[in-house]
Structure 1
Amino acid sequence: MDVTKELAVRIARANMIAVLTGAGMSTESGIPDFRSENGIYAQEEDVEYYLSEYYFAKNPVDFWQRFKRMFSLKLMGKFAPNAGHLFLRQLEEMGKQVTILTQNIDGLHKKAGSTNVIELHGTLQTATCPACGAKYDLAFINSKDVPSCKRGTCGEILKPDVVLFGGVVPRIDEAFAAAAKSELLLAMGTSLEVTPVNQIPLYVAAESPSTYKAIINKTPTRMDHAFELVIHGGIGDTVAKLRSYISWCLSRPEDCRDL
């Protein structure tokens, strides 16, 4: 059977689906991959130092100047969900329980309408006051060179709601649990290079062997061996085929059941 059709059948049959997404999920929305030739690592020096907990604490003013430049925050609100994001929302609309475990900080899964999104590395859409906990949106962040708290006399420089280098991934245990509970774990647009997120497929294989694991990524990854089904292709092209196959499967359940 064609591997895309096989994955479509698996999706059609599953009720609980966990989807692990990475930078490749958003490149078709115009957001470069961190490690691509147009990404931050290619254009900036010492990225992990300047985007670290240490540097924010040491020099928050320069941190914000670099942070805004690296992530093009003025543009971030203009990016729109692509076919991949919309496909996952459509699975919810079909009645499936979809939990998205995303490494992305662009907020596009929520913008697409997905309701159960675990943003493992946080979000660029908001920032929080470290002193009083007040939260501010992207419009406010973009309105100031160095955003600071406006509550009362606080005045503390805000901290972006992303996981900086050296910081903890606060919802990682929740992500591992959701993946292990699923009938289908689908990785999309991720090279699975970043720990601890890249351990999720291995954890699922050990703790929930009945969970079927599939990955869609443009290029091979070092973790392909952890999946029963591997598709090397673009997100947009692949989900277009999946959508067509799933529609066929749902309209012909007796044929789909025998595959």
Structure 2
Amino acid sequence: MENQLKTLRTWLGDSHRITVLTGAGISTESGIPDFRSEKGVWQDEALLAAMTDHHLRNNPDDFWPKYKRTFLRPEYLRAQPNEGHRALARLEAQGKRVTIITQNVDGLHQLAGSTRVWEVHGSARSARCPRCGTEYGLSHILSEDVPRCTWEDVKGSVCGRVLHPDTVLFGQAVRHYGEALHAVQDCDLLLIIGTSLTVEPIASLPRFADRASTRIVLLNLDETDFDDRAHLVIHAKAGEVLRQAVPAGGAAPA
């Protein structure tokens, strides 16, 4: 793998506009599971059926406890950025224009220090009122079994609507697709990290970089259908590879 690492370091040093597409594989080293693996939670068909906007609206008393058990377990909320997240933040700190498109909802890229992050599947760390738009953080979400809006109008009437999580539920459109597409088309290096590229429309984004003759690096434990189209493929843990490719305290990769 040393030759692959050397190539990756060289390409990182040569590049100025780096776009990174991340999936669950970058966060598993922080203790957050890959939901789509063979043993992942999405193998539970009943849970899949519950994680929809329709179920939230019609049965919030069932939706919210299941949502919290899926996304807001204490061990997930305690998770910290790993070497992979921190390496990407270091690239930005070294002066690279790094744009991250993440399918994850854990907020670990931002906790690591990355500032240009498009969360196409939303965030599990916030919720908002569908009526008045008031946004709430984790403390309010976790304070009630079914969190509701506490906003009061000038007459003192409380809104009281059941909150909707900021996570994209099944059947809903992804967010920031236009920004993500632009980031892929406007980069000189695309890093694809920890994703099997099976969930559309995000799975097709790398094809736009392919058309633009952009260098594409695929870093994933397992093979993907896109392996033969990437210019560099590394099958290894993301954190270990990125730690070596972007060493802490060093100069920009060259």
Matched, 1:222 2:239: no
* Counterpart residue number, 1:83: 83
* Cα distance, 1:244–1:76 mapped onto 2, change above 3 Å: closer
Matched, 1:131 2:134: no
* Counterpart residue number, 1:239: 242
1:9–1:245: 8 Å Cα contact kept in structure 2? no
Structure 1 residue 247: Cα displacement: 5.0
* Cα distance, 1:204–1:148 mapped onto 2, change above 3 Å: same
Matched, 1:59 2:59: yes
1:20–1:185: 8 Å Cα contact kept in structure 2? yes
Q: Identical aligned pairs, as a percentage?
A: 42
Q: Distance in 2 between matches of 1:242 and 1:74?
A: 32
Q: Distance in 1 between matches of 2:127 and 2:23?
A: 22
1:51–1:165: 8 Å Cα contact kept in structure 2? yes
* Cα distance, 1:158–1:169 mapped onto 2, change above 3 Å: same
After superposition, give the CA deviation of every residue in 1:90-147 in whole Å (9 maximum; x if it has no partner): 0011000000000000000011110000000000010000010000001111111110
Structure 1 residue 17: Cα displacement: 0.3
* Cα distance, 1:183–1:50 mapped onto 2, change above 3 Å: same
* Counterpart residue number, 1:102: 102
Q: Distance in 1 between matches of 2:64 and 2:201?
A: 26
* Counterpart residue number, 1:12: 13
Query: Any stretches of 5+ residues in structure 2 without a counterpart?
Result: 153-157
* Counterpart residue number, 2:155: none
- What amino acid maps onto 2:200 in structure 1? T
Matched, 1:169 2:181: no
Q: Which moved more, 1:30-39 or 1:127-136?
A: 30-39
After superposition, give the CA deviation of every residue in 1:163-186 in whole Å (9 maximum; x if it has no partner): 101101121111011111001000
Q: Distance in 1 between matches of 2:186 and 2:51?
A: 34
Q: Distance in 2 between matches of 1:52 and 1:203?
A: 30
Q: Distance in 2 between matches of 1:214 and 1:189?
A: 11
**Higher helix share goes to which structure?**
1
Q: Distance in 1 between matches of 2:252 and 2:159?
A: 58
1:32–1:38: 8 Å Cα contact kept in structure 2? no
Q: Distance in 1 between matches of 2:169 and 2:143?
A: 22
Matched, 1:200 2:205: yes
Structure 1 residue 61: Cα displacement: 1.8
- What amino acid maps onto 2:181 in structure 1? F
* Cα distance, 1:249–1:159 mapped onto 2, change above 3 Å: closer
Structure 1 residue 46: Cα displacement: 2.7
* Cα distance, 1:146–1:36 mapped onto 2, change above 3 Å: same
Q: Map 1:14-53; keep pairs closer than 5 Å.
A: 14-36=15-37, 38-42=39-43, 44-53=44-53
2:184–2:190: 8 Å Cα contact kept in structure 1? yes
Q: Which moved more, 1:65-74 or 1:238-247?
A: 238-247
The Cα RMSD (Å) is 1.9
After superposition, give the CA deviation of every residue in 1:143-202 in whole Å (9 maximum; x if it has no partner): 111100000110000000011011011211110111110010001111111000010111
Structure 1 residue 245: Cα displacement: 11
- What amino acid maps onto 1:2 in structure 2? N
Aligned residues: 248
Q: Which moved more, 1:194-203 or 1:33-42?
A: 33-42
* Counterpart residue number, 1:253: none
1:22–1:188: 8 Å Cα contact kept in structure 2? yes
Q: Distance in 2 between matches of 1:194 and 1:68?
A: 23
